[in-house]
Structures are given as structure tokens and as C-alpha cells.
Structure 1
Amino acid sequence: MKFQIKTQLNLGLSNQTFIDINDIFIRYSKSETNVFFNRQNEINVIKNIIPFFTETITIIDYGFDDNNFYVASKFEKKFKHLNDVEIDDKLIEQVIMIIKKFHQIPIKNKVELFDYEKYIYWFYNRTKNWIDRPLEITEIDKCLTKLRNKPMDIVLCHQDLVPGNILIFDNKIKIIDFEFSYLNDKYFDYASLISESFQNDQKYKNIIFEKMKFDTKEIEQVELWIQYQNFLWALWSNYLYQETHKPIYKTIYFEKIKNIK
């Protein structure tokens, strides 16, 4: 490793995290996730973000160190994650505004369009052992067929709005980690926020729909992406449990399975 490490942290699932001797936060990729993340796309996303989006932690350096990808950023100490604070209408509105700003980032460096079918089949086709009942390919195909027939509003999407990627400071909110960011339908991010950060809670779902002034078709679009993400993250967690046998992936798998309708 090119960095002189002072402390190893235990943050996130897809990467190793460290503090170096200069108090720089290092996100360093893991071998089991390198196979499905497009790191060149992440580089291009970061290049687009840096000049136009201030609602993130300052990125100092990024690139490859041998076969691993890293992102070095300013080490922030005084913040809480979204799931560590009391959620109210004002906070939800602030998060929505950050998502809207992210969607408005102009694309100066090429970012790939998210291939939602290819991504989900990548995990399905590499599944050898199921944690529980196998997911039926016909169930997944029904969801994909509905998505194919929907018009999409393509923007730069974050796509992984879990509580750990939403940082709350005293008077501002920042989002981090762009390894899963692609061009995609903007409703994917609202689905991600609802399903990942608010566990599909109808109360928070209604607040988001009301503040966004979504009509019936837009709500249907968000619900469809929630269904897709339940399939995707169930397959993702099943694959990673298969490869690593880490219990956290089994926990995530069952969380997603119970939400598949």
C-alpha cells in the first residue's frame, strides 16, 4: 500500500478504510468487490463531481495502488450518519435537496449508463449456493420487463443512499461514496433513499412523495425501482456471502427477501 497507515477503521462493506499518518481518510477496495465495480467509471464520476458538487467530503486523491482502487479524502470527525439522528420533515427535505443538486451535475467526463439488466444477471448467473429459497428468474424478469417499458429521466445518480453514505453535520448534509454512481433514471435515487435509509417505511415514503410532488406515474416508477433494488441487493448479498461467508451479508439478504413482493 502506498499510504502509511495509522489506524484501520471498520466502516462500510465494500472497502477497507484507514486513517494515514497525515490524518487522511483512505477508502481502499477489497478483492471480492473489485470484480463487479467499474473503477474507471468511478474515476470519471469523481472528475465530474469535484468542480460542481460541494456537498461531499473533499476528495484529495484517487487512483490505483497495485490492483486496488483507493479514494483519499479529508478526515472529518464531527458528524453523524443518517440513522444516528432524529428524522423529521426538515431533514428529509434537506436530503432531497442534496439529491436534486447531485442530479444537476453537468457531465464533462464520460459516465456510463447503468445497465440494470446486465448488473442483476451478473450476480444471478454467478450464484452457486442460495442462503435460503432461490430467487426465481421469472420474478426478476417481470420486474425488468416493466422497467423496459417505462420512460426514464436520465441524470447522474448516486445509487447507494444507505445511511452510512449520508453524513449529518451541525448545519449541513453531505453524501459520500460514488463507486456505484452511473447515469440512470432519477427515480432510482429516491427508491434507494426510501428502501435503504428508511426501510420502505410508509410514513417517510409519503413525506418524500409529498415534498417531491410526485404524481401517480412517478410513484409507480419509484415503487418499481424499489422492487428492482430488493432483487439486486438480495442477489448481491447472497453472492458476497457465498464468496466470504461473512454473517452481515446473510443479514442483508434476509432483509431484502422479506421486502420482495
Structure 2
Amino acid sequence: MRKQADLCQKVLKKAKYIEKIVNGLSNDNYFVITKHNEKLVVRIAKFDPLLDRNCEHDIVKAIAPFNIDVPCIYFDKTSGDKITIFQEGYHLDKYKKNDLKKVALLIKKFHSLKLKCTRDFKSLEKLNSYYEKLTKKPFPLSKYSNLISKYQNYLEKDEKILCHNDIVKGNLLFTKEKLFLIDYEYAAMNSPMFDLVSFISENDIEDKESINYFLETYYQKVINDEIMQKFMTFYCFLDLLWGMWALAKYQESSEQIYYDIYLTKINRLDKNI
């Protein structure tokens, strides 16, 4: 491992002030003030064999010129540890109309770059992998065969571009001046619709007016039945995908948070399907 590989730990040890700010599922994050009064965020990555930190590094580097992510000043490809410039900001629990507009336009800006990377998200393979990991299977996956087939048909027709794939509230950092889309651990080639649905479903936005406004802002046109049917297919599939991920995590770790996520996803899936 390179000498620089322990830089994050050195920064933490020599910090004038340190505060743990986020208990992430994949990382531990710390707000740090150095002896030179620099304000930083240090990420100590948790090991996850499913994450490709080298690919994440390349993606962070590729998007840096476009002012979409917070400025990154250090990234260790091996461990996934990184240091970014601290931005005074906040995350939202509820989104007003103007917030939805900001998110839609930022995702549109990111997608419009049409960047490429070496990693494909492979959502169908992920679903099967998570399901096969289950020691106790709650239902046969064939229960949702029609949904999976519809999703696959859409996926095969869509142009694949670099997508974020994890637009949870913690990855949207609002500041006074702008909005940042952060943390590209799951970024990979995928259908743009995956990101749109990721934002809506992961932030529990369920009223039709907000969803419609968000999609109209992104597409810059009235949303027809064809787009909405595609949206709902992805919406249901994502609940199935992340429901199986959460259940696999729960059976592996016995942490209640994962079982709660599983129940939320599957109950909503069965309601919407």
C-alpha cells in the first residue's frame, strides 16, 4: 500500500477538531478542522466486496470539472478513503416544488454529460445475486416474473450512460449557493430512468403531483402514459431489488435497520404492482 494510503487516518489524528457526522451504511464520515483551520470531510470506507473503489475514483475524477460533486482533494483507490472540502449544507426530508426542480435539473446536467465507465450496474444480475444469498427465501422470485420481464425489456432498449444509482437524501447536499450530488460508490452504466426512480423511491415521494412535476422538469415536456408506465415499472423493480438487498444484509448481520428497509420496500411493491 502506498505511503499516502494512511493520509486520512493521519488527518484524523492531527485534527484540531473532529466530529462524526454521518453513520453511513458503507462509510464512516467525519467533519474535521485541521491545525491550519481547513474544514474537511474525511471518509473512512467500510470494506464491501461489491464496491469497486478504483472505478469510483475514476468517476469522481471525471466529473470534477463539472461542479456536480463536492471538491475532492484525496482519494485512495485501494481503501476507498477520501477527503473532500467541507460544504456548509443540509439534507432534506421533504421536497418543495423548487427543491424538486433543483434535483431534476442537476440529474439532467449529470446525465447530459453522457460519461462512460468500465462498470455496468447489472441490476438484473444483482437481483438474482441478492436473492441467491438468502438463507431463508420469503417467496419464489417467479412471483414477480412479469415485472422482471417488463423491466428487462425497457432496459434492453435504453441507451446506457453513467448513472449515480443511489440518489438517497444523504447524497443530495443543499447549500445556499447550489446543490451537490455526492458519493459515487454505486455509479455505473445504466438507464437514466434508474436515477429518476431512485430519487423518487428512496426519498419516499409518493404524491402524483410532485412526481409528475419532477419528471416534467427533467424531460422538459408533458409526461404521457408511456413514460409513466415505464417509470412505474422501474419503481416497482427498484423496490424488489433493494428489498432483496436489504433482506440479504439482514440475514448476514441481524441489524434491524436492514429488515425495516426490506419490509418498507416489499410492502410498497405489493401495493403498487
TM-score by length of 2: 0.83
Cα distance in 2 for partners of 1:120, 1:7 equals 36
Moved more, 139-148 or 179-188: 139-148
Report the Cα distance in structure 1 between the residues aligned to 2:42 and 2:127, rounded to whole angstroms: 29
Structure 2 CA distance, aligned partners of 1:125 and 1:233? 14
SS at match of 2:268: coil
Tell me the equivalent position of 1:28: 44
1:237 Cα deviation (Å)?
A: 1.1
Query: Where do 5+ consecutive residues of structure 2 fail to align?
Result: 1-5, 13-17
What SS does structure 2 have at the residue aligned with 1:159?
Answer: coil
Moved more, 199-208 or 178-187: 199-208
Task: String of CA shifts for 1:1-20, please: whole Å, max 9, x gaps.
Answer: 54232443333222122245
Structure 1 unaligned blocks of 5 or more? none
Q: What CA distance in whole angstroms lies between the structure 1 residues aligned with 2:43 and 2:248? A: 22
1:22-101 mapped onto 2 (5 Å cutoff)? 22=34, 23-31=39-47, 34-51=48-65, 53-64=66-77, 68-76=79-87, 78-83=88-93, 87-101=95-109
Higher mean C-alpha deviation, range 11-20 or range 190-199:
11-20
CA distance 1:154–1:64, change in 2 (3 Å): closer
| Higher normalized helix content (fraction of residues) | 2
Q: Which residue of 2 aligns with 1:11?
A: 23
Structure 2 counterpart of 1:115: 122
Q: CA RMSD in A?
A: 2.1
What's 2:169 paired with?
Answer: 163
C-alpha contact (below 8 Å) 2:205/2:211 kept by paired residues: no
| 1:89 shift after superposition | 1.8
Instruction: Find the aligned partners of 1:43 and 1:140 in 2 and give their Cα distance.
Output: 36
CA drift at 1:162: 0.8
Identify which of 197, 202, 206 aligns with 1:196.
202
Is the Cα contact below 8 Å between 1:82 and 1:197 reproduced in 2? no
Preserved contact between residue 15 and residue 27 of structure 1 (Cα < 8 Å): yes
Which letter does structure 2 place at the counterpart of 1:102?
F
Distance apart, 1:61 and its partner CA: 1.3
Asked if the contact 2:117–2:189 (Cα under 8 Å) also holds between the matched residues in 1, the reply is no
More contact order relative to length (CA 8 Å, sep ≥ 6): 1
- For 1:136 and 1:26, locate their aligned partners in 2 and report how far apart those are by CA, in whole Å: 42
Does the aligned pair in 2 maintain the 1:48–1:106 contact within 8 Å? no
Instruction: State, as a whole percentage, how many aligned pairs show the same letter.
Output: 25
Counterpart secondary structure, 1:87: coil
Cα separation, 2, equivalents of 1:139 and 1:187: 24
State the one-letter code of the partner of 1:235: M
Mapped contact 1:45–1:111 kept (Cα < 8 A): no
Letter in 1 for 2:140: E
Deviation by residue 1:25-70 (Cα, 9 ceiling, x = unmatched):
1222223xx121222322222122112x2022111111245xx322
The within-5 A match list for 1:139-150 is 139-150=143-154
